[in-house]
């Protein structure tokens, strides 16, 4: 997919959901998927149940969010009240591996 994904009710179970845009899960939304890849980030106010989640920008876990799944993203904002089931979180500088240009003065 290229655009944003708005989840407002139950969606899944799916094998994968990939988008260049942002994934938003509303308060009444529930996303059940094995693998999520969202280059534009994730905003979860509802439920995400996944095995692996990869986000290109900060992930927002709202106050009523219920989240389960390993997460790799450059940042995570977790609001008070968000519920996170034991998961592995990684916060690398470039989670999608898109930075392949050498810094000024470096050779590749």
Q: 64-103 pLDDT, tens per residue?
A: 999 999 999 999 999 999 999 977 888 777 666 655 555 5
pLDDT at 33: 96
Token reading at 66: 């219920």
Higher-pLDDT residue of 106 and 13 is: 13
CB neighbour list of residue 47: distance below 8 Å, 6 or more residues apart: 25, 29, 30, 31, 65, 66, 67
Q: Where are the beta strands (DSSP E) in 1-65?
A: 5-7, 10-19, 23-25, 30-38, 42-44, 47-55, 59-61
3-class SS of residue 69: strand
pLDDT at 102: 52
Condensed to tens digits (0 to 9), the pLDDT of residues 35-52 reads 999 999 999 999 999 999
Q: Where are the domains of the chain?
A: 5-90
pLDDT at 47: 98
Residue (of 100, 77, 98) closest to 89 by Cα position:
77
| C-beta separation of 40 from 59 below 8 A | no
């Amino acid at each position: 997919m290229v655009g944003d994904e708005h989840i407002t009710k139950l969606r899944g179970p799916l094998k994968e959901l990939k988008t260049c845009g942002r994934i938003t899960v509303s308060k009444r939304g529930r996303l059940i998927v094995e693998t999520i890849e969202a280059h534009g980030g994730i905003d979860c106010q509802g439920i995400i149940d996944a095995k692996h989640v990869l986000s290109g920008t900060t992930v927002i876990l709202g106050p009523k969010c219920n989240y389960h799944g390993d997460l790799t993203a450059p940042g995570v904002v977790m609001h008070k009240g968000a519920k996170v089931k034991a998961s592995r979180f990684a916060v690398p500088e470039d989670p999608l591996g898109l930075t392949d240009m050498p810094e000024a003065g470096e050779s590749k």
